[in-house]
Structures are given as structure tokens and as C-alpha cells.
Structure 1
Amino acid sequence: MHQQFHLSIIIPVYNVENYILKCLESVLNQADETIEVICINDGSPDSSRQIISEYIIKYKNVKCIDRINGGLSAARNTGIFAAQGEYIVFLDSDDWLEGNVLSELYRQAKCNDLDVLIGNTQWIYLDFIKKSKKLSAEIVPETINGEDALTKLMDSGVYEPMAYNYIVRRSFLLKNSLLFKEGLLFEDELWAPQLLLQAKHVKGSHLIHYNYYQRQNTIMNSLASVKKIDSFAYVAAELIKISEDKHELLKQNLWFRACVLYNCKFTMQQIIGDYNNKFRISWLSLLDVSSSYSSFNRSLDFLNYTRSDRRIIRIIAKVFLS
């Protein structure tokens, strides 16, 4: 099948009337006829749709799909099925791209015949910009399989489990049914490892392409809720399942990520107070999968034990893992 576009930029839209203009401009300032922009209006009640309509009139490569509100995952999935580009770039509508990066991202993905190109993100705060300590090209400089890439990223401490950090071949997504789980918050935490573990050709990029704006009233930063608690628990449990047949280093890193999410779940559960999600990670389970005391100790810090309990647990763990 002939590819009409090189890249499809998928932008879910909901209540972003103050941000969508900057988001769209960051794409269209560097987009030619080889790049399509697909906005998914997820039932937004504000003026975001009207702003997009003005761009549709002005640009032939911009379109908008209107749907009943179903959440970020459902909006992204709608975009994946509608896309005609060879590769897909995910862009949240309150963020923006760096200038003059799209053509180079496509060149890197195409020339290396990649399933996934790993990009680089910088975090934009009101008074400073936070950059990753290493670029993905420093971690994955050559084309390797996705399982090895995931292991390297996790072990280096610069793993970014967010959809916008990956430029993905659309046919690879569809062939492997790598859609986002609908009805789930923090869906990227599950999607990213599933994506990389299926990929055969993965490489890092030297470009910082994405600006992640840190605003207060986002899914990540807003108040605790039952749905967030259940989502954290679900993703943590799924990461543990994924780890079962993986090699030792990757298994321990997946467990560590699960423990981090478990800690988020437990913290939010303490805030709400009257809700109890029964998913739990015990130190005995962690001990069973740990091959070293250092890996066990790193993950233990994220489990809900008192300081005195941790002291006793560490003494026992040293006996078994020494």
C-alpha cells in the first residue's frame, strides 16, 4: 500500500484552548505536504475545536476527528486507525515540538528501517527547563532489538515510558495490535514496554524533539482518585506479568518500575483513606525475583513498610542474597 504521508502527528484534544495554538504552530511551522496532522477532539467543551477549525481552513494537511469523550487512550487509538503516515508521532495538545525536527526524525527512522525511533524530551517548568542526563542515542546508538533497548534504557535510569517519546512505524503498531488500553490512566507506563518488547529494530536519536509542559491540572498532577489508584495497581501488576519470562536484568528493572507505581498507588490510597485496592507487592515476592541485594534494596524503598520493618527485612535479605 502506498504511503501518502511520511509522518502522521496525532494530537488528542480536550480542554486545551489556551495551549492548542502553540501546539499546532510548532508542527505546522515545519510540516510540508509529507506530514499530516490529525487532531482528535475528545468531546472538548471549550473552544479548542473552533481554533482547530481555523487551521483546517488554512492547511490541507490538517484534519479533526470529533468523538464522544473517551479519554486519552481512546483518542490516540482513533488517531492510529485514521493515520495514513508511514510513521506516527504522538503529541499532547498542551505540549509542543522543537523546531525543525520532524524531517530529521523521519530520515533517521526511514534510513535505519526502524520499528521504533526513541526520541528525547525536555520538561518545561515556569522558571527552568529540565533535560535528561543522557540522550537516547547515547544509550542505544546502534539498531538493536527492542528488548535489549528497553533493558539499556531502564538500566541507565533515563527510561521514559511516555508515548510522545517514540516515533513508531504505523504498520508495526497495527500488525502487533499495539493500541492503548482504554479506560486506564497512566496507560503509557504499560504501552511503552509492550511496544519495545515487540520491536525488532530500535535506535536512539540525538535530537531533543519534545517539550513537555508541566502544568498543574493535568492527569499526572491533579488530586488523588479511585481511578488513579486502580490504574497504578493495574499497570504495576501487568509489568510484573510481563517480567515473568524475561532475562534477569530486565525482570528486575520491570519489578522496580512496578514498585514505583505501587508506591504511587499506596500514597494516593492513604490520601483518600476510605478506599482499599487489594493489590500488594510483598517483600517476600520481591526477594524471590531479586538476584542481588542492591536490586532488592532499591525496590524495597518503594514498598509500604515502616523504617523498623525495612531494617529487619534488609537483615533477612542479606542472608539470602549475599
Structure 2
Amino acid sequence: MVKVSVVIPVYNVEKYLEDCLNSIVNQTLRDIEIICIDDGSTDNSLAILNDFAEFDDRMIIVSQSNQGHAVSTNRGIEMAQGEYLYLMDSDDIVKLNTLEDTYNLCKSKDLDFLIFKAQAYNELENRFYDGENYVMEGLFKSVGNSIFNYKDIPDEELFHISVTPWSKLYNRQFIMDCGAKFPEGLVFDDNVFFWQVLFNARRIYFYNEFLFTRRFYSLSSTTSGDMRYLDSIEIVNLIGEEFRKHGEFERHKVKLYNEKVHMGQFRYRRIKEEFKGMFFEAWRNDLIDVFGDENLFEDFFKNLKDEYKKLVVRILLSRSDDEFRQMEDISLMEFGKLKKDIEERLGEE
């Protein structure tokens, strides 16, 4: 059995792929397999993969029609044979000692998974910077060098951990046993995978070292501002389901409810103008579903910050994005009347 299976989903990243692959094939840990899933690339990505594979028999290249990051990653995980599992992004780079250091720690401490730090690189601005969620200083201050699970993490730090799989090394058997999967057909899918893994893990360790560089550029899914941003609405709901499944929703519902509204607002503000109308419609329909469950809406609404309460009311009262933009601020003092207005408006649609 190889020590680490590296899974790399690939799609149209010819500009960055060689940097990524060089950072993997030159790892100081040699006993690895490198599973690359080309997801129907239309550029030279597949040719680059095949060129590397000619000189490295540890590489396994799979070519499939375009089905998305989640499908590619899940397929790679299913193919993996290593003791441990590393999920790499094809447009980023990792330090050459990463797999050796993290593998040795995982083995010696019998870990379900290990977390390490990353730095961010903004290609448009040509600068490196430390992102709070990638550095995770609060987590380290809380757990130090101890082995922990999610119950040991203070509530205020739980939502500040990087959800990205590339800042983790996983015990492959643990992943198989807990059944963690990336939700297929959606971007931001690593958010759901993270909570599935975190809630099931019993032995986690934080390695307080920078091992990874995350690249941000205009076409990446996290910065593109295109229609893929609509997926974040469903992702937030799937996260809530994971909390309910593990009996943690009630404890964290204030954060989850407010994050639901915050994330909608965050993506709405950053999606390109041409897609705002579609995003608003999906965002509003999602909130209409909540409003349609009287008990759920009451619990949801009373736990929101006032600014988010006002935002939710404005969304529900607006039949279109244009109407939403033109609506003036509302007073929560008149919420009883506003709720009736919402009911009447929805009844007319």
C-alpha cells in the first residue's frame, strides 16, 4: 500500500498546471500515487498531464467528460489506494516537504486528519497575504499541540477553520468509513465535505506550519462572480443539514441562521451584474421556503441580527431585483403589518 494518494481534479488550468504537478512529483515523500482526473478540459491540460505521466509511473491519468469538481474528486477518492489521502487543487502549489511531514505526524499520532496553514496569492495584485481562515491562529491558541475533535473547539473558532481540503491530510480509511462525499453538481462543495469530516473525526491535529499557497485569479470559481455563485444558496442549506444530522444545529443555530443571510448578501454583492436578477430570484425563493414553515420562520427570524431581519423582509416583499434595489429601508416596529404584507404579496403570485 502506498503511503499517500494525491487526488488532483483538473479542468482548463494549462497556465498553472505544471507548477502544481512539479510541487507534487518532487515531494520528498516518494511513496505516493498521483491520481489526476481531467474533467473534459478544452485547453492543453490533458496533454500536460500525459507529458508528466511519461516520466513518472506514479501518475494515473483519467479523462472524462466535464462533470464538475465534485464528481472528479469523488472519483479520485474512490480510486485511491493509499493509507492517507491528499486532495490537491490543480492551480495551486504545495511545499515539497508537505506530504512527508504530515504523513509522519498522522502515523505517529494515529490521526483521522491533520490541518495545516496556507498563504494566499492574489495573481491580479501580485501579492501574498495571510488570510484569517488559512492561518487559523485562534484554533491553534485553543488546541495547541493536543489531539482534539470538534467538541474541543470553542464556538467562536469553529467557523473560522479553513474548510478547504488542500490544507488537510486525511486517513483514507476514515474517509471511507464516515462516507464523506463532495456534493455533486455544485461549486463551493468543499464546505459540505468539511463538516461531514469534522463531525465524524475523533483524532485531529493542527500542524502550525505554512505548507500551501492558494492562488486567486479572475476565472477561479471563488472569484468569478458568474452563475456558479447561485450554488452557494444550496450549499448553505446542505451545511445546515449536516449540523442537524449530528445534533449540533440547536447549539449553533444563531450563527447558522445569520450566516445564511450573510452569505446570500455576500454572493449577491459580488455576482456580476448580468446574473444579479437570477441570483435574487433564487435567493428569494429560498427564503420563501423558510417563510412557508411558520415555526421555522419564527425561530429563524427572531435569531437574526436586526440588519438581517430588515434585509429578509425587503427580499420577501420584492417581486424582482429591481424592486428590491428601489425599496427603502423598513422599520421592524411594524413587523406584524409587514408579515401580513408578505403573506398577501406571496398569495398574489
Name the TM-score, length of structure 1 as normaliser.
Answer: 0.82
For 1:140, the equivalent position in structure 2 comes to: 143
1: CA distance, partners of 2:265 / 2:75: 32
Question: Within 2, Cα distance between the matches of 1:154 and 1:313?
Answer: 36
Deviation at 1:287, TM superposition (A): 4.6
**CA deviation after TM superposition for structure 1 residue 286, in Å:** 3.4
Change (3 A) 1:111 1:199: same
The match for 2:56 is: 59
Larger radius of gyration between Structure 1 and Structure 2: 2
Q: Alignment RMSD, CA only?
A: 2.9
1:70-149 equivalences under 5 Å are 70-126=67-123, 127-133=126-132, 134-135=136-137, 136-141=139-144, 142-149=146-153
Aligned residues of 2:258 and 2:305 also touching (Cα < 8 A): no
1:309 to 321, 326, 330: 330
Q: CA deviation at 1:114?
A: 1.1
Shift of 1:209: 1.6
Distance in 1 (alpha carbons) for counterparts of 2:34 and 2:157: 29
User: Which residue of structure 1 aligns with residue 305 of structure 2?
Assistant: 297
Separation (CA, whole Å) in 1 of partners of 2:203 and 2:307? 30
- Counterpart residue identity of residue 190, structure 2: D
Alignment partner, residue 42 of structure 2: 45
Q: 1:269 to 1:159 in 2, by over 3 A?
A: same
SS, match of residue 210 in structure 2: coil
Q: 1: distance between equivalents of 2:310 and 2:272?
A: 14
Which of 165, 171, 174 lines up with 1:163 in the alignment?
A: 165
**Are the counterparts in 2 of residues 119 and 165 from structure 1 also a CA contact under 8 Å?**
yes
Three-state SS of the structure 1 residue aligned to 2:305 is helix
Unaligned runs of 5+ in 1: 291-295, 315-322
Alignment of 1:106-255 (within 5 A): 106-126=103-123, 127-133=126-132, 134-135=136-137, 136-141=139-144, 142-149=146-153, 151=155, 153-154=157-158, 158-225=160-227, 227-229=228-230, 231-244=231-244, 245-246=247-248, 250-255=252-257
Question: Relative to structure 2, which stretch is displaced further, 258-267 or 166-175?
Answer: 258-267
Query: 1 CA distance for matches of 2:309 and 2:201?
Result: 32
- Residues 1:69 and 1:192: Cα distance change in structure 2 (over 3 Å): same
3-state SS of paired residue (1:210): strand
Count of residues paired in the alignment: 301
Which amino acid letter does the alignment assign opposite residue 330 of structure 2?
Answer: D
Letter in 1 for 2:305: N
Q: 1:161–1:257: structure 2 CA closer, same or farther, 3 Å change rule?
A: farther
Question: Which secondary structure state, in structure 1, belongs to the residue aligned with residue 213 of structure 2?
Answer: strand
What TM-score, normalized by structure 2, do the two folds share?
Answer: 0.76
User: 1:260, CA displacement in angstroms?
Assistant: 3.0
Mapped contact 2:35–2:59 kept (Cα < 8 A): yes
Asked whether the 8 Å contact 1:243–1:254 carries over to 2, the reply is: no
- Describe the SS at the equivalent of 1:38: strand
- Give deviations 1:18-59, integer Å, cap 9, x for gaps: 111000111122244322211111111211111111221211
| Higher helix content, 1 or 2 | 2
1:33 is aligned to 30
Deviates more, 1:275-284 or 1:180-189: 275-284
Counterpart residue identity of residue 91, structure 1: M
Secondary structure (helix, strand or coil) at the match of 2:129 reads strand
Give the counterpart letter for 2:143 in structure 1. Answer: V
Identity of paired residues, percent? Answer: 23
Runs of 4+ in structure 1 off by over 6 angstroms are: none
Q: Structure 1's 148 and 262: CA in aligned 2 closer, same or farther, altered over 3 A?
A: farther
Change beyond 3 A, Cα 1:299–1:21? farther
- Whichever residue aligns with residue 138 of structure 1, its letter is K
Note the 1:274-285 alignment, pairs <5 A.
274-275=277-278, 276-277=281-282, 278-280=285-287, 284-285=298-299
Moved more, 29-38 or 260-269: 260-269
